[in-house]
């Protein structure tokens, strides 16, 4: 397989994800991140469709894109309209990119029922548009929309559409599985048939409506495609697009196809979390290669095997994609996670030593109280640091108060005040929130952010409460799990108490302490925390 060209469409197809609304500044940040990891072509948007994308193309000219090429996206000319007078094509040229991608119809159903024009006119639209942009000196990629559906329905016409684009001078023709309904065998067979009939380079663009977008992309690449399109984290309309990050990891780490360098591939996990952060769409813990749980091991048999040879339960070394191995603490794992976590902290423990046995007993006692460190790795690390006298104090609580009021208009008002001692300075802050925990979180952050500015780059992504003993009713203990995330990672903390606010406070403060610990921030003269 020859070198594969990577084409990212996160800023265009990815922005069509339900719930995403990128600002121009968001798009600039993502563009620079994609360039840094080595994406060859970055599709910035459709300047003919909205003012925001027009502004983006004006602003992005100042960005540092290294070896990446920015692409403007649009459609062929309209039916019965001259290319020279088509507003969409003129906006594409005005975007100022040296590469332009246009899409056209390959499926006769779309030509007749959606465009409501003739099959001949559709061919003219493709030819005129490609020729017009080529005369203007642009590199032109042609997206054959709905190609696989069109080929199955009327192979002769579908093939005719892309031959027309080739003859008009297109630099690359991309076969699109726009509805995401194709099977890998179909994609492999059809791509091979097309490859035997065209001279131009081919690309592949798939959607994930059956969970097969990555598999279909790989099948097309194996059959002769040289460009692969996708979005980071699989963002996109409906069920999303092919996950370009996963494809990159497979190409480079598994198929040894060096589309990007080993150093760039190590940035994959960080890039995926960065885009998750900017798009405000949580990266799934079990996301391939880059997820928080992608290299997590829980069972004692698994952990024992991993210590002997990591290949026993890992298909690739996590560091290759910038991720890391985690041995999950639970009743199934025994002493080894304690020993290994302590070693990572620079504290050597012997599996058979009395100290290790004491730590395991303390851990089991905490779990008996209701703590669940299996799902709260950050709290587990803090627990060990406290027990091993390696914990430093970032701040100290002097007191907090939470007030909730339901008013006669039916609205709930929540306010929290906190008094903290930070670096010898007493801080008093108050904040309102949607509820008592939200207000408490905001007040806590407000009191700490001026001392620790990095806290502004983290936020809560999930908050779960579980009643541990339903028999005791409202007096039951509750367990609160809080998941937090910044631009590079996610982590989970836990709190347990009969009072849900106190349980939440414990999880909140653990979350913030872990972030500061991760960043290497501490008080100049630290004291050992008294929390057990």
Q: Could you report the per-residue pLDDT of 269-321, keeping only the tens digit for each? A: 999 999 998 898 889 989 999 998 999 887 667 777 877 888 888 999 999 99
Specify the range with the lowest mean pLDDT, choosing from 124-133, 207-216, 401-410: 401-410
pLDDT number for residue 43: 98
- pLDDT at 67 exceeding the cut of 50: yes
- pLDDT at 530 exceeding the cut of 60: no
- pLDDT at 332 exceeding the cut of 60: no
Mean pLDDT of 13-21: 95
What pLDDT band is residue 472 in, cutting at 50, 70 and 90? low
pLDDT number for residue 470: 55
**Which string of DSSP letters, residue by residue, matches 237-296?**
STT-B-BHHHHHHIIIIIS---SS-HHHHTTHHHHHHHHHHHHT-PPPTT-TTTSTTTTE
Angle at 485 between CA 483 and CA 491, to 5 degrees: 50
- Please list, in sequence order, all residues whose beta carbon lies within 8 angstroms of the beta carbon of residue 441, skipping any fewer than 6 positions away: 433, 460, 508
Please report how the helices 377-387 and 500-518 are oriented relative to each other, as an axis angle in degrees rounded to 10: 80
**What domains can you pick out in the chain, each with its CATH number?**
5-279 (3.20.20.70), 367-394+455-532 (3.30.160.340), 395-451 (3.30.160.740)
What pairs with residue 141 in β-bridges? 101, 172
- pLDDT at 482 exceeding the cut of 70: yes
State how far the alpha carbon of 82 is from the alpha carbons of 49, 78, 89, 115, 206, in Å.
19, 8, 10, 16, 31
Tens digit of pLDDT for each residue in 152-196?
999 999 999 999 999 999 999 999 999 999 999 999 999 999 999
Mean pLDDT of 130-147: 98
Identify the CA nearest to 80 among candidates 125, 26, 25, 126.
125
- pLDDT at 97 exceeding the cut of 70: yes
Rounded-to-integer distance, Cα 349 and Cα 345, Å: 11
- pLDDT at 522 exceeding the cut of 50: no
Mean pLDDT of 484-493: 88
Sheet containing 396-406: give its strands across: 396-406, 412-422, 425-433
pLDDT number for residue 309: 83
Tens digit of pLDDT for each residue in 20-45?
999 998 999 999 999 999 999 999 99
Mean pLDDT of 426-447: 92
Q: What is the pTM of this model?
A: 0.76
């Amino acid at each position: 397989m020859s070198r594969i060209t990577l084409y990212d469409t996160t800023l265009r197809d990815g922005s069509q994800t339900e719930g995403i609304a990128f600002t121009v500044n968001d798009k600039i940040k993502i563009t620079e991140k994609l360039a840094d990891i080595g994406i060859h072509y970055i599709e910035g948007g459709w300047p003919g469709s909205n003012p925001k994308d027009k502004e983006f193309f004006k602003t992005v000219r100042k960005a540092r894109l290294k070896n990446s090429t920015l692409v403007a996206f649009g459609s062929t000319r309209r039916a019965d309209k001259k290319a020279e007078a088509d507003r969409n094509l003129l906006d594409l040229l005005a975007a100022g990119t040296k590469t332009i991608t246009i899409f056209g119809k390959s499926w006769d159903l779309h030509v007749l029922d959606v465009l409501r024009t003739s099959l001949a006119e559709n061919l003219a639209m493709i030819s005129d548009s490609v020729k017009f942009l080529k005369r203007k000196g642009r590199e032109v990629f042609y997206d054959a929309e709905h190609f696989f559906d069109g080929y199955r329905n009327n192979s002769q016409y579908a093939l005719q559409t892309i031959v027309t684009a080739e003859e008009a001078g297109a630099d690359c023709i991309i076969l699109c599985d726009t509805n995401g309904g194709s099977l890998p065998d179909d994609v492999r067979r059809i791509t091979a048939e097309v490859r035997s009939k065209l001279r131009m380079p081919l690309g592949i663009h798939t959607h994930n409506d059956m969970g097969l977008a990555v598999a279909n992309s790989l099948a097309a690449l194996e059959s002769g495609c040289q460009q692969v399109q996708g979005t980071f984290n699989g963002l996109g309309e409906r069920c999303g697009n092919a996950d370009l990050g996963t494809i990159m990891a497979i190409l480079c780490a598994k198929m040894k196809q060096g589309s990007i360098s080993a150093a760039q591939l190590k940035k994959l996990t960080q890039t995926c979390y960065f885009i998750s952060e900017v798009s405000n769409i949580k990266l799934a813990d079990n996301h391939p290669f880059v997820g928080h749980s992608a290299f997590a091991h829980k069972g004692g048999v698994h952990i024992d095997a991993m210590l002997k040879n990591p290949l026993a339960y890992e298909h690739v070394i996590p560091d290759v994609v910038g991720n890391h191995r985690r041995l999950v603490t639970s009743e199934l794992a025994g002493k080894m996670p304690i020993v290994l976590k302590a070693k990572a902290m620079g504290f050597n423990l012997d599996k058979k030593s009395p100290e290790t046995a004491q730590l395991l007993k303390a851990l089991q006692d905490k779990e008996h109280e209701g703590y669940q460190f299996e799902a709260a790795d950050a709290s587990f690390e803090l627990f060990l640091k406290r027990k091993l006298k390696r914990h430093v104090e970032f701040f100290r609580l002097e007191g907090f108060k939470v007030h909730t009021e339901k008013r006669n208009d039916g609205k709930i008002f929540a306010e929290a005040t906190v008094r903290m001692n930070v670096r010898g300075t007493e801080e008093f802050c108050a904040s309102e929130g949607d509820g008592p925990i939200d207000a408490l979180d905001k007040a806590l952050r407000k009191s700490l952010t001026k001392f620790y500015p990095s806290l502004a780059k983290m936020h809560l992504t999930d908050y779960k409460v579980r009643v541990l003993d339903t028999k005791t009713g409202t007096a039951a203990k509750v367990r609160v799990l809080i998941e937090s995330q910044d631009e590079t990672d996610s982590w989970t903390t836990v709190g347990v108490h009969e009072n849900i606010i106190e349980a939440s406070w414990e999880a909140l403060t653990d979350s913030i302490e872990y972030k500061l610990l991760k960043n290497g921030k501490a008080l100049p003269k630290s004291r050992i925390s008294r929390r057990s």
